[in-house]
Structure 1
């Protein structure tokens, strides 16, 4: 019996089959997502469609333009009214200070008796900023002194086990209200006296806010040395502040219009200045006596 030389050669009933390829581990997505029935559209396509449709609508464009114009007009009106009541350039002038000015002005508030020249300096009919003129009023020291007074009041109340947010808020609001009342009273007095002076609202706020420096010193001395030290510091700071206000306001209000004016007007201006100075110790005592025990 003859045998073929190879198994599975041509003409044989048995043929060798090729092994099937294994299925891929991941689907090929390089060609993009196939369009399948019921599939969701890509995320954001409906939003883009709605925005494009809205922008293509003429009525929508008119509404957007009208809304933008109203917003811009409202913004201009707000800025106009703000600048009408508060001049930002003037406000920046009262905060134009430096470290040297602050140190010298604090020394002047505590010991003003050796100061000689109290006139505010001008350059081309424009008052010099506080950092160039020690006599110029500023709002930096009153603002920082007010914040320091509130913090010191909270510390004093905490030491005495009487601290609460309500009491601290009452101290802050009371101090602020007294300053507002004082400024309004001065403005009314100047209006009734028909005084032509350079004193404005910011000037009066500055002179009224200097009392916070004396209040801080009085409370600190009272916390360190008791009630006796508090009354000594209160007397000293009150006398210094009264002298400072009389010399400053007299040169500013009376000095510009009182010279050569009617005698009753001069007396009224002088009485107004003295009343403002005499009112300071009472406010300082009222706002600080309950903090020292």
Structure 2
């Protein structure tokens, strides 16, 4: 049995392919899809180059273009057995959003809803994070769990988006503005375990408070941590705390960032978890492929 994590160089964006092999069978998980604004490594050609023709689990951590990226393209052309998406379909059309939200977010919603439709069309079983409907996904001795949000968490973002439909443009704009900076707070946190032991913690763009809530006072040793929010605490939000991450004893710390930002920030990133091997995706020519234990 073996596992590999493909950390694609997607610029300042998240895109991960996980291959799990057991008893001669391969399982493929796809976590986030990069960014079409930074087409460093388009996803479909990468999957084709690695002879990946089916996705066993597709997961989108949250509704931002630097994570959604090429997932819609994958859902349109490849069979996907199961999926974990942040919300149910969003009851808004591009016309509903015109003049209310910025073009990038209008596009995010349109791509998200088309992806839902494509997944349902092909018979994929789709789970949601808000509300959390997904039990842990089990693949032999491997298990992927959504540890944030919990079943008790609700999404002010999704609730605001749903309420926008029947409001005036002015009211809809105010509703959107009330949650515009909260999309990252809805980011799922995914924990991959092997034989009951934590292997990889994938934090999307989640807040530090979300990780604390997810772990509920526990500090399990995790071999690999994908750091939240491209290694940046900014815009008034606290995405990670180095001292806390060190209590999780990671052997590898992965940061998704462009090559330019890596040149600027690598020295400070090396101090987040000084004993861990630092992998910055933007420094790879293609993808960094890491073993999973």
TM bucket, shorter chain: under 0.3
Q: TM-score, normalised by structure 2?
A: 0.24
Q: Which has the larger radius of gyration?
A: 1
Bigger fraction of residues in helix: 1
Structure 1-normalised TM-score?
0.24
**Greater share of strand:** 2
